[in-house]
């Protein structure tokens, strides 16, 4: 039996083979091209299948999504922003396969619940902080999906007092304040000369005033939004992955300070926030786990 997992992120596309133990092993990865995104996805899938008949495919995509229709409308992939019928396209490529589809945050939560830091915690929030900010909610050991498939999309919770414009059309979303590109943009507007979140984090560690301020701003915003989400959901664990989340103490210290200031109600006294154990493989692993939900054809 050949089982594939597909992860479509804001900046990268990855494909993996799903093993009998449910763990996914990456076999191909590329950057999201400016055009011809489906052609790139198609090539990765065919290479991973390697001529074998594919039985099951799990897909995780950055969003928003229309999960029942199999459509993705990612804010950070311009070619697909008005909607791309991803599931029908994959189904046409592999007609005999069963295809399961979810937003990347749902996949992230599945992975953390089964193989990551939330293995022993039935109520948790999983987040990714990278080119965008997404998330998934685990309640009673189950991952919430929502009526359109976008449950847990924490990137569009509002940061108190923020008026930063967001790609979604709103203002004040935490993604517009605390994602890697948003933080880089804020720093550059104040005279910093780097171009990437990695450079920003390195300069903050080295003591650059603007870089430190950018990461402090992002950390406080994340802590504020996490405090609100934790109070709403009554969770005691938040797991954060994604490239920008690896920015170290200049990001994590203000995040923890904001938690200390805002998450003070009694039932949040045990709230703790930890880095993901799965790294950048989490969404792909979660996409593979979707296939376990699919009955054999």
Same domain, yes or no: 95 and 201? no
Helices (H), ranges, the chain: 37-49, 86-93, 104-115, 174-178, 180-188, 197-205, 209-233, 249-262, 282-290
Q: What's the pLDDT band for 15 if we cut at 50, 70, 90?
A: very high
140 in helix, strand or coil?
coil
pLDDT given at position 118: 95
Q: Is residue 296 part of a domain?
A: no
Look at the chain and report how many structural domains it folds into: 2
Q: Does residue 234 surpass a pLDDT of 60?
A: yes
Alpha-carbon span 282 to 297, nearest angstrom: 27
Are 291 and 14 in contact by the 8 Å Cβ rule? The answer is no
Q: Is residue 59 part of a domain?
A: yes
Q: Does residue 297 surpass a pLDDT of 70?
A: no
Q: Is residue 24 part of a domain?
A: yes
Q: Is residue 167 part of a domain?
A: yes
Q: Does residue 293 surpass a pLDDT of 80?
A: no
Same domain, yes or no: 271 and 287? no
How much of the chain exceeds pLDDT 90, in percent?
Answer: 91
Q: What is the mean pLDDT of residues 120-129?
A: 95
Q: Is residue 110 part of a domain?
A: no
Same domain, yes or no: 158 and 136? yes
Same domain, yes or no: 127 and 49? no
Q: Does residue 29 surpass a pLDDT of 50?
A: yes
pLDDT given at position 134: 93
Same domain, yes or no: 136 and 243? yes
Q: From residue 297, how far is each of 24, 110, 181 by CA, in Å? A: 21, 23, 42
Q: What is the mean pLDDT of residues 9-13?
A: 92
Q: What is the mean pLDDT of residues 41-69?
A: 95
Q: What is the mean pLDDT of residues 41-53?
A: 95
Same domain, yes or no: 137 and 28? no
Mean pLDDT of the chain: 94
How much of the chain exceeds pLDDT 70, in percent?
Answer: 99
Q: Does residue 178 surpass a pLDDT of 70?
A: yes
Q: What is the mean pLDDT of residues 170-195?
A: 97
Q: What is the mean pLDDT of residues 134-149?
A: 95
Same domain, yes or no: 183 and 250? yes
Same domain, yes or no: 58 and 131? no
- What is the three-state SS of 55-106? EEEEEEECCCEEHHHCEECCCCCHHHCCCEEHHHHHHHHCCCCEEEEEEHHH
pLDDT given at position 169: 94
Alpha-carbon span 104 to 126, nearest angstrom: 11
Same domain, yes or no: 140 and 199? yes
Range(s) of the domain holding residue 171: 117-275
Report the candidate in 85, 92, 104, 80 with the shortest Cα–Cα distance to residue 5. 104
State the Cα angle at 10 between 7 and 26, rounded to 5°.
Answer: 30
Q: Is residue 152 part of a domain?
A: yes
Q: Is residue 125 part of a domain?
A: yes
161 in helix, strand or coil?
coil
Q: What is the mean pLDDT of residues 125-149?
A: 95
pLDDT given at position 30: 96
Beta-bridged to residue 158, according to DSSP, are 173
Which of 10-14, 261-265, 292-296 comes out lowest in average pLDDT? 292-296
Q: Does residue 170 surpass a pLDDT of 90?
A: yes
Same domain, yes or no: 79 and 136? no
DSSP of 253-265: HHHHHHHHHH--S
Same domain, yes or no: 65 and 28? yes
pLDDT given at position 296: 43
H or E stretch at 160: none
Q: What is the mean pLDDT of residues 130-155?
A: 94
Alpha-carbon span 68 to 236, nearest angstrom: 31
What Rg do the C-alpha atoms of the chain give, in angstroms?
19
Q: Does residue 168 surpass a pLDDT of 50?
A: yes
pLDDT given at position 240: 96
Q: Is residue 242 part of a domain?
A: yes
Q: What is the mean pLDDT of residues 24-39?
A: 94
Q: Does residue 294 surpass a pLDDT of 80?
A: no
What burial letters (b/e) apply to 117-133, b meaning 16+ CB within 10 Å? bbeebebbbbbbbbbbb
Same domain, yes or no: 135 and 72? no
Domain containing 136 — which CATH number? 3.30.420.40
């Amino acid at each position: 039996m050949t089982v594939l997992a597909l992860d479509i992120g804001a900046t990268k596309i990855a494909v993996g083979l799903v093993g009998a133990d449910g763990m996914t092993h990456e076999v191909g990865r590329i950057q999201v091209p400016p055009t011809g995104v489906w052609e790139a996805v198609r090539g990765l899938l065919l290479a991973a299948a390697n001529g074998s008949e594919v039985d099951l495919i799990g897909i995780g995509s950055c969003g928003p999504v229309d999960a029942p229709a199999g459509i993705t409308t990612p804010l950070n992939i311009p070619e697909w922003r008005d909607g791309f019928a991803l599931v029908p396209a994959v189904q046409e490529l592999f007609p005999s396969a069963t295809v399961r589809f979810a937003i990347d945050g749902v996949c992230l939560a599945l992975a953390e619940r089964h193989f990551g830091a939330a293995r022993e915690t039935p109520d948790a929030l999983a987040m990714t902080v990278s080119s965008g900010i997404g998330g998934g909610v685990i309640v009673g050991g189950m991952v919430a999906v929502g009526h359109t498939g976008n449950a847990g999309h924490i990137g569009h919770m509002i940061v108190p007092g923020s008026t930063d414009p967001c790609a979604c059309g709103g203002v004040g979303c935490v993604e517009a304040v605390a994602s890697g590109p948003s933080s880089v943009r804020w720093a550059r507007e104040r005279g910093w000369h780097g171009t990437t979140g990695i450079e920003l984090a390195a300069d903050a560690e080295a003591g650059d005033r603007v870089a430190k301020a950018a990461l402090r701003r992002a950390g406080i915003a994340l802590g504020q939004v996490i405090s609100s989400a934790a109070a709403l959901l009554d969770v005691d664990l938040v797991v954060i992955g994604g490239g920008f989340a690896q920015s170290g103490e200049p990001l994590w210290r203000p995040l923890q300070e904001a938690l200390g200031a805002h998450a003070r109600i009694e039932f949040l006294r045990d709230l703790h926030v930890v880095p993901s154990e799965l790294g950048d493989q989490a969404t792909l692993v979660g996409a593979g786990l979707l296939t376990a939900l699919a009955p054999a054809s």
